[in-house]
Structures are given as structure tokens and as C-alpha cells.
Chain A
Amino acid sequence: MKELKLMKGNEALAEAAIRAGCDAYFGYPITPQSEVLEYLSREAEQRTGMVVLQAESEIASINMVYGAAGTGKKIMTSSSSPGISLMQEGISYIACAELPCLLVNVNRGGPGLGTIQPGQGDYFQTVKGGGHGDYRLIVLAPATVQEMADFVKEGFELAFKYRNPVMILTDGALGQMMEKVELFPQQERKFEELAWATTGKSANRQKNAITSLHLKAEQMEEVNIALQKKYKEIEKNEIRYESINCEDADIIITAYGLVARICTKSAQLAREKGIKVGVLRPISLFPFPYDVINKYANKVQGILDVEMNAGQMVEDVRLAVNGKVPVEFYGRMGGVVPDPEEILKVLEEKFVGAAV
């Protein structure tokens, strides 16, 4: 029987963490994601024995994640933009030491302290690095409360498959809004001794060291080469996207997360006016669906990229399109969410009005 619930995105995410058999969550309050920590504090320990700890800062939480993830258990944290900024050093260490873990950014408007309203201004930070050095996170961008829950399970699977940190990049609106969600059944919390993990050196194996320190340049380069090889593998296997009415489209809107849902409405309104518009929603932001967008660029007249920022993912869309067709951008910033009509208006101005 389906287990349907009406839940806030943040709560669905927290519930999914418990059900995915997460072993520990370390976090720090920040709007608009504090419900994750609150929900887990209320529910987790008594139900599965999961550790939930409120740290003294996001810096402490990410380093608790670092330590705990080194044992090979399922570990996660969540925060919102300024908190994620504080975590970047730790994330870089985690990526280099190849520790599987799940990170969640409930993106709010920035820069600086910004606003507590939704934003997508952390795309670059999440997808292009954020912390120091050449590393990549696997980035999943949910567009529904359902995906907020499902991507927790999927995120942990990807994290352990590649020994790589996974980040769910969502926003304040998805975190706060309520929708019905079908919850997956409770998974057992089980502990598997992993060959690389620091769980105490037993007599039958060599000692393990979790480290990102490689003092010899050649050795550090080797580590980098191995990481890049892994990222290539991820790019080959793990691209996720949703294509809505793109097959016969003359114009495609690219958007991720919440904005993609709004754009789907814009596309529907456009079709009612006789303009064939489709929506291409990248779900994995790394790896990014370059090839998919490149193929669509062969048969559409133009692409409109819409984001809640000053234009970040649009750079990847342009790389994908590689000059084949015009790529226009429309964005709202600072926590303002665009509505379907204004996006349609922009689309008409840029493409229909310009007699493409």
C-alpha cells in the first residue's frame, strides 16, 4: 500500500533520511532549512537509533561529517547558503579523501546574509567547486517534495557507489512548501565494514588513513588524476534530466529545481498560444546533461534559460549549445520567484517578437 503524506519539503527530506537508514546527521540551525534538524531531533533516534547532533557551527558539522563518514557509515548534513559557504573547506577535504556522504543546500537569496527566500545563486558554488582545488560533488536538484525525499535515498546510493560527496541543491521554497509525498519503506540501518574505513585496525588488515594530504607534487597529481577519472566515470553514467515536450519544440526552456516547474506552466501557456515550447530540466547538475542539450540545439530555434540568479547554469547551457542557436537568459534574484506569465512574456519578446 502506498504511504502518502502531506509534508513540507524539509520534513520529507528528513523523513527520507531516517528511512534510508542514515546513521548520523550533524547540523546547525539556519533558515529556511531548520526543519530538517528539528524533525530529526524529534524522530530519528527513537525510531532507528540514528545519531542527531546539533553542532556549534556549520564548520563543526561538516567536520563531524568528515570524521563520521570516514567510518563508512551513512552520514549527512544540511544547511542553507551562508552555512554551506562555511562548510566549503570541509567539503573540499571530504571530496579529496573520497568520503561518501550526503549534503543538502536549501538555497536562499544572497550574496551575504541575503534573504531567507528561495534562490539559485549557489549553482556555481555547488557545481563548479565552492571549496578549493579540483573536485566535484555529485549534485541532484529536486523540483518537487517527492524528489526531496527520493533523492536522499538516491544520493546515498551514488555517494557510496563512487565514494564521493553528493549534494542535494534545493531552495527555500521547496524546503518550506507542502505537497503530497509517497514515502519509500523504512530501510534497515546496517553497518558494512568497508575496506578503506577507519573503524579500528584489526589484526587481519593494514591500517587505514583518511587523508587529503599528499606532500609530494607527483603524488598529489596522481590523486588528482584518479579523482578526475572518477568524475569522468560519473559523467558517463549518472546524467539525469527530465525532458518535457521537447521533441516537437521550437523553443526550449532550460531550468532546474523549482523554476523548472514554473517554466513548465509557461510552456503550457505558450502552447495554448501556438508556440511550441518544451522544458529541459537538468536533474543532475553535475554531471550536467551537455550532450542532451547539444542534440536539442540541432532542432530548436533558440533556448531560454531561466534561473533565480544572475545567470549561472546558463553558462553550462551555452557550453552545451556551443553557438548552434541563440541562448537567452532570464533571471530573478534576491529571493524573488518568477511567475509563469512573466517568463512567457520574456520568451515571446526574445524569440517570437524577434522573428526567429
Chain B
Amino acid sequence: MAKVKGDIIIDIEKCKGCELCIEACSQGSLERSRQVNNKGYLYIVKVQDNCTGCTNCALVCPEGGITVYRKTVDGKKQIAKIDNVNQDMNIEVNE
């Protein structure tokens, strides 16, 4: 299996701090910020550099506020496969 590395951008102004993405992230990459956005919400930020680009955070985000990036270590792009809808995506992590 290809080794992958991911990253995300959270639109912090859209974020309402519901924390569903924190719960959905199996890597524990996300945390609540100490600062509020313009709406007054404590938005979510990525605090660990261990993202796999699995898209789970974006899937559960009610605001459509997360963009997910991913590439394999050999530089090839790996498209998110959502065909297997019966289980959450598991991707081997590049340690």
C-alpha cells in the first residue's frame, strides 16, 4: 500500500467549533483553538503533523469548511475512494 501524507485547511471563519471533526479524526490531529473567530466561536485547528488526508473530518463538517489534501510519498496523487461505504477509510500512515 502506498504511503500517504495529508493535510487540511480549515476555513476558520466558517467554523462553529462543533468539534465533530475532532471526534472523527482518528489521528488526533485536531484541537480547539484558544481564539475565537469573527462569529465568536472557538474554531478548530490542526495541531499535529500526522494527517493522512482520510477526509473524515471534512465528511462530518456541517459547514463544508474543510479542504483535504493528500499525496503519496512517491508523489502520486491518491484519489479518495468512497466506494466502500460500509466502513470508515483506513489509510496506512507514513511514520
Instruction: State if A and B touch, Cβ cutoff 8 Å.
Output: no
Interface residues of B (CB under 8 A from A): none
